[in-house]
Each structure stands twice: as structure tokens, then as C-alpha cells.
Structure 1
């Protein structure tokens, strides 16, 4: 008589996971492709910007805000994000534009900074964007309000995309002086 060894459900699932991971190709953001840049695309006014996926911790619908007296005109207030207060900045106003009119498309990009997270109000989030070196433009950004945070520009279809450094933004002295 043949005796079949009994295997527990846990051991069976662990074996399936081990074999699956051994053959996994990797997540799209983990696959390296020379000359390829990936990020989150968003719109501020009529400008199309993109930041690295690592720079944007979370994308939120516009939360209820509490005004904070004595702050700069581009600070919209603070939001309670899962029990943590995060200041919310109107990115377009900070960069020298007019106040963003909040619509159903408006979103808040949650970005980590030294003292916690900060929310950046943008007109619209446009999802993941991929750029290759052949789409790179020579002149990155001409507007000085944006130029200090833009390190490259690409053209995709008829749209110019500027790569926006959230790390530079949250370290800027005028941003920190909110």
C-alpha cells in the first residue's frame, strides 16, 4: 500500500508562492530599460508636469481644509489625513499663478518632507507617464518660477512635459517659509 505524505494547506500555499516568485518577471516599475523615465503626470494650469513615482506618496481627492491664520496666500489650510495634519499648498499659486479653482478633477499630491507630509493641490492627475531619451527637449524650462524645480522636458505627442522635482520644491527656502 502506498502512503501519500500529508501536506498542510499552509505548506502547499508557501510552495505555490515560492514557485511563482521564482518565475515572476517583476513589476513594470522594477524592470530597467535604458533611457526610460517613469513618473506620475499631472496638470497645473496649462502646464503638464511629471514627478517620480517615489516623490508622490499618495494621491487624494481634495479633503476638507481648515484655514490657518498668518500663513502665506498659497497655503490653503491643513487637512486631516488619517489622523495626521498635513498642510495643503496651492501649487499653481506658489509658482506665481492664480489660485486654482477646485473641480472634480482636482487632486492633492501628498509629498514627504522633513517635518512630515505636505499636500499639493493640482488641477488634475493624468496617471503614469513614460518618456524616452529621444523625446527629450534641449531647453527644459523658460519660466523662472518653474525652472528651479524642472530638470528636464520631454515632448509626448503634442504635449510638452516638464519633469518636476518634488524634492527641490520641499527644500526651497520660500516654500519652507509658509
Structure 2
């Protein structure tokens, strides 16, 4: 029998509250204290990337989009996300001039930018990735000229190589900010 079975409902709720408070957002996580870096892994075309977990606000299945006339081809339209209009960018088309195919795995990464939020369509999200300083120190420089302004280096995590992709550099890029034709 569980030790919680002997508690009254009120005592059980108080126990859950204490447990939740012990793991509150303000409490430092042990991952950070060990010098580990956390990011969200995703795929655009054939390339795998990882961005800092603090740079991506939310992951969504691709919502219905409304076309925006007179926009760059990589601006797919705007989405209504809980009452807020969010521009949806095909990241594959922006980076490589290759349209991201519609699939069950495609996701919209919501990223904050000056003046609001932008959604970035990616082929697939791999979830959280963690690396230590040693893995980051052994990273190799990005060679693709289309990516060097956004990818600081490429790191090996297990069998997969990930480009460290800076969302903050992306949303500040003049060509990214100019979505009108």
C-alpha cells in the first residue's frame, strides 16, 4: 500500500503542492548546475539543427494559414494562435529555397521577435537535446554560406550532427524582416 493512501484528501493535496513548489520554475535545475546546455532539435530539409531551449517558446502542429498577398514566397501566411496573428515562415524555403513538404511530422516553432512572435515551419522536431561544454568545444565551423550567419558551429550528438542555430540572429536578419515583395 502506498504511503499516500493513509493521507486525507486535504493532506494529499498539501503533499502535491509541496512537491510542485520544490520543482517550481524558479528553482535551478540540476542540468544547469552541471554546465550542460539544453536545446530543441529540429530538421529543415536534410539538415539537423538545435536551438537554445530559451529561444523557442512553443511547438505547434501546423494550424490553418491565411495567405498574405504581395509577400515573399517563404512567408506562407498568418496563423491565428489563441487570438494572436502569427506570421508563418517556411524555414526551408527561406534558408535553402526549398519548400517544406506537408507532413504529419512538420511543426511550427514559435519564436519571439521584436514586436511579436513568428512561426517557423520545420520538417520535424526531435525534442530536447543536451550537450556539455566538451561537446561544444569540439564543434566544427559551418561551411554552407547560406547558414554561416545563423549557425555558429556543428556538433556531434550521438550519431547525428547538429548545427547550433541562433534564432535571435535569424529574427534580426534584414532579409528575414523584409517579408514584402
TM range (shorter): 0.7 to 0.9
Alignment correspondent of 1:77: 77
**1:133, distance to aligned residue in structure 2 (A):** 2.6
Query: Is the alpha carbon distance of 1:161 and 1:20 closer, same or farther for their aligned partners in structure 2, counting shifts above 3 Å?
Result: same
Instruction: Determine the C-alpha separation between the residues in 1 that align with 2:101 and 2:20.
Output: 46
Alignment correspondent of 2:93: 93
TM score, norm. by length of structure 1: 0.83
**1:108, distance to aligned residue in structure 2 (A):** 0.2
Q: Any idea what the Cα deviations from partners look like across 1:72-120, whole Å, max 9, x if unmatched? A: 1110001111111110000011012311101000000011111211000
| Partner SS for 1:147 | coil
**1:159, distance to aligned residue in structure 2 (A):** 1.2
TM score, norm. by length of structure 2: 0.82
**CA-based RMSD:** 2.5
- Structure index of larger Rg: 1
Query: Is the alpha carbon distance of 1:15 and 1:80 closer, same or farther for their aligned partners in structure 2, counting shifts above 3 Å?
Result: closer
Alignment correspondent of 1:145: 146
Instruction: Determine the C-alpha separation between the residues in 2 that align with 1:114 and 1:79.
Output: 18
Q: How many residues align structurally?
A: 168
Query: Is the alpha carbon distance of 1:95 and 1:44 closer, same or farther for their aligned partners in structure 2, counting shifts above 3 Å?
Result: same
Query: Is the alpha carbon distance of 1:79 and 1:15 closer, same or farther for their aligned partners in structure 2, counting shifts above 3 Å?
Result: closer
**1:16, distance to aligned residue in structure 2 (A):** 4.6
